[in-house]
Amino acid sequence: MQKKIARKIASITAVSLASGLITVPAGANADLTPNLQIMQKTEIISDEALDQSYQYDYQSDGNDQKFTQVETSWDNAFVAKKLVVGDWKNYDGDVVVSILKDDGMEYQLQTTENAQVELSDYGEISSIKLQPAGEIANSDASMSGMVIDGDIDMSQASDTVELKGTIRESEDGENFTSKVDETVSATVLKTSYKIETPVWKTEQDKLSYGQTAKVTLDGLAGTGTAELSSYECQLIIPKGTEIEQIDLPEFEHATSTLFVDGKEYTEGIITSDSEVLLQICLEKDNNSLIEDDNSQDEDNNSPAYDFKQTKSLSLLLKNIQQDAKSEDVLIQAYVKAVYGDDQEVKTEASQKIQLICEYQMESPKVSSSATIIPGQDDVQLTFNNMNATATTSVTGYVVDFYIPSDLTVETIRVPEFVDSEGNSVERLITINGQHPSILNKTIFLYDKIGSFQMVVYTKDGTFSQSRDMVITASNQTSSEKEIEIKAVANGYYANNLVQTVESNIQKLTLQKVVTPPAPTPEPTIEPTVTPEPEPEPTQTPTQAPEPSPNPTTTPIPTPTITPEPTTVPSESDSVKKEAANLKPLTPNVSVSNTTSGDTLKAEKKQETNDIVDKLRPTAATAVQETAVTDDFSNKQTSEKTESSSANAARVTTAPAEKIEKTSPEKVKDAVEETVNENRGIQVLLILLVIIGCGIAVLTGMFLHFTRKKKHLLHLEEKMNDSKNVKGDS
């Protein structure tokens, strides 16, 4: 079964030989003399150079037999890993590879020229033989490019590691004889030195500006049989950090000295605008080995150290970086040891730390008293949680508030802030480029502003909000829509860095304002004076004629028409009755009334003049028909009564020329006298109108200020309710 596996054809891969191989001549390189050259990669084998490679080249003398072989063998220290089949000059075909193990077992496989064969699968190999499957033409078996790679097992090595190569030939392909051979060897250095890779540890891998963290370095140790000449550990501390404190390391069987940028360190803070170089130089006390704590275990392979670190190197690093919000830096350690004949061994380790420079600002919060706002209703917007903590220099804190112009801002209750010590912090509010006046910690606006800005002034940038900002606004939109309320805070700090935080977005649904229809104005009722109907004269045939006041006058013996005894009201009675029918002048005054006092006076005066004009014909008629009674004197004007009665009631059958008529002059005089007698009534009416106008104006002013006071009381109640709710929460 093993033979079947061994005879499988290997994959073919072209391989070129690495540079730096050392040529070892097989013998004199004369003309027509066969020559086998074996080149090895390393002449000196040590713990740091354990890999080895051999390359074979054969130059024929032109007198080779038909069949040829290349055989190579080595001692147990060389562990073969890979074979590259060479290329024969005068042959083209398959190549048979025979592999002989240390236990005597032989494997054969058939491959081609320049093929690559993995040897690790066969275990411990002692020799390999390569033979072309056919005859060599032109008696020239020259070959090149055969390579064997492997490692040196130091546990099996003596002072040298040898490898031998042989060229064999045959006429019949069965009986081979040696034609030329060559042996190469490499020196093994039993004395070597090994160093351990250091280990970084840090309390945290993210440092905010001004924050410190402890970083430690451990694991510095070395072991080996060679003489240690020097041991050095270089530490690269990145820019943007400051070394606040250093605790020096301690070693067993070694002492250390710390240098900072080439100068021996004593104490103090180390600050630099660039990287800082720390050098730890060791001097061994002696060559005694330090047994590991677990070396007593039989199965433990821990080395015995030449020297070993017993106390950590501790660095207290502080972040002083102000040029970027975030930057990743490396703390690096490079270790180099020199031993023996100036041989070096190196190792390194690094630790990443993120330097963060930021202004720690909390996001503002906004809330509203309602989310659905009917038309012309008020809503209260509350802004709070405007707090900030500075770890670096701060040049400004600015908040922009966005209030859509669909809302009419009525009042702003300004916020208050305190610093870290509880002292009050100044703030400045700017609206439309102006700094509004603040009355009782409140700004009164009654305007649409869209947005406004507030600046908080602090010494060190650290403050907290101690009083909420409350905005009272009314919905005056003409269409239903959804709006967003928010605040954006910007902090300016360090070297031109800006930190921005945004509040939550408070959405409001505004319902449109419904405009009621204009009310129908009440008709103006003007006082009218309706004259009493004139009494119709009635004939009373049986009534005796009115006796003449003059007893000497003889009555006319003709029938007369005597009017019924009716009482004709005087002008004063008519005026009184008309005034009683008049409605009181109740002023119709509202807050929105725009009629001035002068206009109202003019209207009332015109009404009074109209009444007087209407009374004039009534007075004239009364003069012609009946006597006039003075309401103020209560005296009868007997002469006028007799004259008027005689003129009004005397109807005779006498000729027309004998009827006594009233001349126009008498009528005019009677009217003027009547008007003059009622002058007091006119003055009284005018005074009543003036008093009514005054009452109307005063009533309007009273109603206006009453409503204004109620509105302010309503706003104050809302503000108190909001404060009480916050206190309860």
CA distance linking residue 472 with residue 382, whole number of Å:
9
Same domain, yes or no: 213 and 181 = no
Write the single-letter amino acid at 148: I
Tokens 């005026």, residue located: 575
**What is the distance between the alpha carbons of residues 500 and 364, in angstroms, rounded to a whole number?**
11
Give the 3-state secondary structure of residue 15. Answer: coil
CATH number for 336: 2.60.40.1530
User: Is residue 351 domain-shared with residue 229, that is, in the same domain?
Assistant: yes
Q: Is the domain of 183 the same as that of 202?
A: no
Write down the residue that tokens 């439309």 correspond to.
432
Q: pLDDT higher for 265 or 606?
A: 265
pLDDT at 437: 93
Q: Phi and psi at residue 177, in whole multiples of 5°?
A: -120, 155
Q: Which of 52-61, 184-193, 301-310, 569-578 has the highest mean pLDDT?
A: 52-61
Given a cut of 70, whether residue 562 has pLDDT beyond it is no
d(CA 429, CA 419): 18
286 pLDDT exceeds 80? no
Question: Going edge to edge, which strands form the sheet with 378-384?
Answer: 365-368, 378-384, 469-475, 407-413, 442-447
Do 181 and 204 share a domain, yes or no? Answer: no
Please state, in angstroms and rounded to a whole number, the distance separating the CA atoms of residues 626 and 622: 6
Percent of the chain with pLDDT over 90: 43
The string of pLDDT tens digits covering residues 677-688 is: 777 788 888 889
Reading the block at residue 107, the tokens are 């494997």
User: Residue 10's domain is classified under what CATH number?
Assistant: 2.60.40.1510
630 and 575 housed in the same domain: yes
Of 647, 650, 625, the residue nearest 555 (C-alpha): 650
408-420 residue pLDDT tens: 999 999 999 999 8
Confidence of residue 569 (pLDDT cuts 50, 70, 90): very low
Amino acid 284: pLDDT: 76
Does 557 have pLDDT greater than 70? no
Residue type, 630: D
Q: Please count the structural domains in the chain.
A: 4
Which residue do the tokens 């304002």 mark? 513
Is residue 491 over pLDDT 90?
Answer: yes
pLDDT recorded at residue 103: 86
pLDDT at 501 over 70: yes
Is 546 inside a domain boundary?
A: no
Closest CA to 726 of 421, 409, 380: 380
For residues 48 and 433, the model is more confident at 433
Q: How confident is the model at residue 646 (pLDDT cuts 50, 70, 90)?
A: very low
Q: In the predicted model, is pLDDT for residue 580 greater than 80?
A: no
**Domain presence at residue 212:** yes
- Mean pLDDT value of segment 692-719: 85
Q: Which residue in 309, 256, 255 sits closest to 278, CA to CA?
A: 256
Pick the most confident of 154-158, 652-656, 719-723: 154-158
Amino acid identity of 325? Answer: K
Do 367 and 328 share a structural domain?
Answer: no
Is it the case that residue 4 has pLDDT exceeding 80? no
Asked if the structure places residue 553 within a domain, the reply is no
DSSP code, position 374 = -
CB-based burial of residue 651 (10 Å sphere; 0-12 exposed, 13-18 middle, 19+ buried)?
A: middle
User: Which residues partner with 129 through β-bridges?
Assistant: 71, 98
Residue 494 pLDDT > 80: yes
Does the reported pTM lie above 0.75? no
13, 11, 39: which is closest to 26 by C-alpha?
Answer: 39
Domain final residue, candidates 141, 169, 188: 188
Which pLDDT score, from 0 to 100, does residue 275 have?
A: 82
Q: What is the pLDDT of residue 684?
A: 85
Residue 542 lies in a domain: no
The confidence band for 578, taking pLDDT boundaries of 50, 70 and 90, is: very low
Determine what percent of the chain is predicted with pLDDT higher than 70: 71
Note the pLDDT of residue 612.
52
Distance CA 207, CA 329 (A): 11
What average pLDDT does the chain have?
Answer: 78
Residues 633 and 679 both lie in one domain: yes
pLDDT at residue number 543: 45
Residue 405 has pLDDT above 80, yes or no: yes
Higher pLDDT, residue 147 or 571: 147
Decide: 435 and 475 in contact? Cβ < 8 Å.
no
For the segment 190-204, the average pLDDT, to the nearest whole number, is 88
Quick one: pLDDT at residue 715? 83
Residue 421: inside a domain: yes
What per-residue string of b and e applies to 195-224 under the rule 16 or more CB within 10 Å gives b?
Answer: bbebebebeeeebebeebbbbbbbbbbbbb
Q: 720 vs 469, which has greater pLDDT?
A: 469
Among candidates 325, 664, 612, 624, which has minimal Cα distance to 496?
325
Please tell me the predicted confidence (pLDDT) of residue 639.
44
The two structure tokens encoding residue 669:
């005089």
Per the structure block, which two tokens stand in for 314? 């501790």
Higher pLDDT: 417 or 393? It is 417
DSSP conformational letter for 682: H
Q: How many helices and strands (H and E) does the chain possess?
A: 6, 45
Q: How confident is the model at residue 184 (pLDDT cuts 50, 70, 90)?
A: very high
Which of 188, 222, 243 terminates a domain? The answer is: 188
pLDDT confidence bin for 586, thresholds 50/70/90: very low
pLDDT bin (cut points 50, 70, 90) of residue 283 is confident
| Chain segment 220-275, per-residue pLDDT in tens | 999 877 788 899 999 999 999 999 999 999 999 899 999 998 888 888 888 777 78
Question: Does residue 297 lie in a domain region?
Answer: no
What secondary structure, in 3-state letters, does 605-663 show?
Answer: HHHHHHHHHHHHHHHHHHHHHCCCECCCCCCECHHHHHHHHHHHHCCCCCCHHHCCCCC
In 189-260, which ranges are E strands?
A: 193-195, 199-202, 206-208, 212-218, 221-224, 228-237, 241-247, 250-252, 254-260
pLDDT over 60 (residue 643): no
- Report the CATH number at residue 480: 2.60.40.740
Distance CA 571, CA 105 (A): 162
Same domain as 592, residue 466: no
Segments forming the whole domain that contains residue 56: 2-188
pLDDT of 299 above 60: no
- Identity of residue 220: L
Paired with 500 in beta bridges are 490
The two three-digit tokens of residue 290, written as one number = 């330090």
Backbone angles phi, psi at 296, to 5 degrees: -75, -15
In the block, which residue shows the tokens 């031109």?
496
Instruction: Give the pLDDT score at 187.
Output: 87
Residue 529 confidence (pLDDT):
53
pLDDT single digits (tens) 124-177: 899 999 999 999 999 899 999 999 999 988 778 888 899 999 999 999 888 999
**349 lies in the same domain as 489:** no
CA of 205: how far to CAs of 319, 330, 352, in Å? Answer: 11, 10, 7
Q: Which residues of 575-585 are buried (b: 16+ CB within 10 A; e: fewer)?
A: beebeeebeeb
Average the pLDDT over 456-478 and give the result.
93
Whether 561 maps to a domain, the answer reads no
Task: Measure CA 688 to chain center.
Answer: 72
Residues 453 and 466 in one domain: yes
285, 169: one domain: no
What letter would DSSP give residue 27? S
pLDDT tens-place string over residues 114-136: 999 999 888 889 999 999 999 99
Unique residue bearing structure tokens 């006594």? 660
CA distance 276 to 263: 12
Q: 267-294: b or e for each residue (b if 16 or more CB lie within 10 Å)?
A: eeebeeeeebebbbbbebeeeebbebee
Which among 444, 476, 510 is the end of a domain?
Answer: 510
pLDDT of 17-32, one tens digit each? Answer: 333 444 433 333 445 7
Residue 572: inside a domain: yes
- The separation between the first and the last C-alpha atoms of the chain, rounded to the nearest angstrom, is 88
- Label residue 658 exposed, middle or buried (CB < 10 Å: 0-12, 13-18, 19+): exposed
367 pLDDT above the threshold of 80: yes
Q: What is the pLDDT of residue 156?
A: 83
pLDDT for the residue 19:
35
Stronger pLDDT, 209 or 636, i.e. the higher one? 209
Q: Are residues 228 and 367 in the same domain?
A: no
Q: Does position 582 have pLDDT exceeding 90, yes or no?
A: no
What is the number of other CB atoms lying within 10 angstroms of the CB of residue 655? 7
pLDDT score recorded for residue 22: 40
